[in-house]
Amino acid sequence: QAQLSVEVHCSAGTYIRSLARDLGMNLGCGGCLASLRRTQALGFQESQAVPLPERPGPGAAPEDPEALPLLPPEAALQHLPQRRLSAGEQEDWSCGRRIMPGADSESDAVVVLSDDGRMLGVGLPDETGGLRPKVVFEARG
């Protein structure tokens, strides 16, 4: 059986299995995938992936999760606009209060940062022009 190796650069929502089927149909021989490997998604490369540790056997201590080389949460949100808060706004945010004004953005979500750049959460613009908390790290009250 003949095989074809293809590398496809595409956007989200592209159906690679359908592409293989359609290519095979146009060639008159049928087509399917022998394997599929995603090497990039949402700005992350396969080379950045961290293999999961082996599951420890019975009675063995699990690996310390703090020792894993994980990326910070904001690394997955680089495509979103950011809003840096003042000290007073940080207090309001940590208590779940809306921030006024919100971000200068048409985005559905905004990464909220402290004045020193720590991620405090994710906010959603509201109809009043404010930024309403959706996810709050280090919440109080």
Question: What is the average pLDDT across 77-86?
Answer: 90
Question: What is the average pLDDT across 15-20?
Answer: 92
Mean of all residue pLDDT scores within the chain: 85
Cβ pair 82, 119 in contact under 8 A: no
Confidence class for position 138, pLDDT limits 50, 70, 90: confident
Confidence class for position 90, pLDDT limits 50, 70, 90: very high
Per domain, the residue ranges of the chain are 1-46, 73-136
CATH classification of 73-136 is 1.10.1200.10, yes or no? no
